[in-house]
Chain A
Amino acid sequence: MIKVGDRIPSATLREKTAEGIKPVTTDDLFKGKKVALFALPGAFTPTCSAKHVPSFVNNAEALKAKGVSDIVCVSVNDAFVMEAWGKDQKADGKVRMLADGNAEFSDALGLSFDASGFGMGKRSQRYAMVVDDGVVKTLNVEKPGAFEVSSGEAVLKAL
């Protein structure tokens, strides 16, 4: 699993924009910027919708005031689902909804898990991290089923 001080490995995520679906490489995403990234098991799932995304949407301004230039949500869903979920969560302009549909990013970080027992295939563990110019500065991985250390508030406190 990736740890504090490591450089984010190269992987490609996808983002649905007004011009269609665009690839977003980790190199482009993190280069020269401070990014707060959080990941979760699935779009439209209860904890993720009711708590995790709102905790970042509601703290978007406070995070940006602390020097975070991008707030990014990653899930092993496709870009169509992530866009629909972002609209549903009113995340527009506050949190970028990036799709890791092949689980390439989650695998590269060593943070994927087998959710096939829930009929969800391979998914991402729930975590949050702050990445400065491609290097992991903080990393908070939740225990299975928990939502404590990866909230927007927890990330804000550590900045």
Chain B
Amino acid sequence: MPGFLANHDALKSKGIDTIACISVNDAFVMGAWGKASGTGDKVMMLGDGNGEFTELMGLTLDASRNGMGKRSQRYAMVVEGGVIKQLNVEAPGAFDVSSAEAVLKGL
């Protein structure tokens, strides 16, 4: 999250219109998290509380062993006019390819 906030202007200058963050949490939790993170109007905080979007993407993760039910894998993508231009899915537990810096480099 901090990476996308810090690179907000750089991403916008590369032609990105909207930066959105998705998690399998409800909209109340996403709103509270956005407030706590100071996202303001820089990052849209979207709740995928039923895991519907994540399942359609085929990017669901069973996190019930950690008491978190069904969740989303960590990934970043760039979508243009509804078509995926970049998709970087992390290996379990990793945070390498889905950073704002990585997205920026791929633009």
Q: Which A positions have Cβ atoms within 8 angstroms of B?
A: 12-14, 21, 23, 42-46, 76-79, 81, 84-85, 88, 99-103, 115-116, 118-121
Contact = CB atoms under 8 A, between A and B. Distances in A.
A13 B67 CA distance: 8
Nearest to A103: B69
B50 A77 contact: no
Chain B CB within 10 Å — which of A42, A118, A119 has the most?
Answer: A119
A81 to B, nearest CB: 5
Contact of B32 (A76, A84, A121): A84
B73 to A, nearest CB: 16
Given A119-B47, A119-B50, A99 B67 contact: yes
Interface of B: 24-29, 31-33, 36, 47-51, 63-64, 66-69
24 contacts: A13-B67, A14-B67, A21-B67, A23-B67, A44-B28, A44-B29, A44-B31, A45-B26, A46-B28, A78-B66, A84-B33, A88-B32, A99-B67, A101-B64, A101-B68, A102-B64, A102-B67, A102-B69, A115-B49, A119-B50, A120-B49, A121-B49, A121-B51, A121-B69
Nearest to B26: A120
Contacts of A101: 63-64, 66-69
Contacts of B51: 121
B26 A42 contact: yes
A72 B28 CA distance: 21
B63 to A, nearest CB: 8
Given A118-B49, A119-B50, A121-B51, A43 B28 contact: yes
B49 A119 contact: yes
Contact of A42 (B29, B50, B63, B64): B29
A154 B59 CA distance: 44
Chain B CB within 10 Å — which of A12, A77, A78, A118 has the most?
Answer: A78
Contacts of A88: 32
Contacts of A45: 26, 28
A116 B51 CA distance: 9
B21 to A, nearest CB: 15
A14 B32 CA distance: 21
Contacts of A102: 64, 67-69
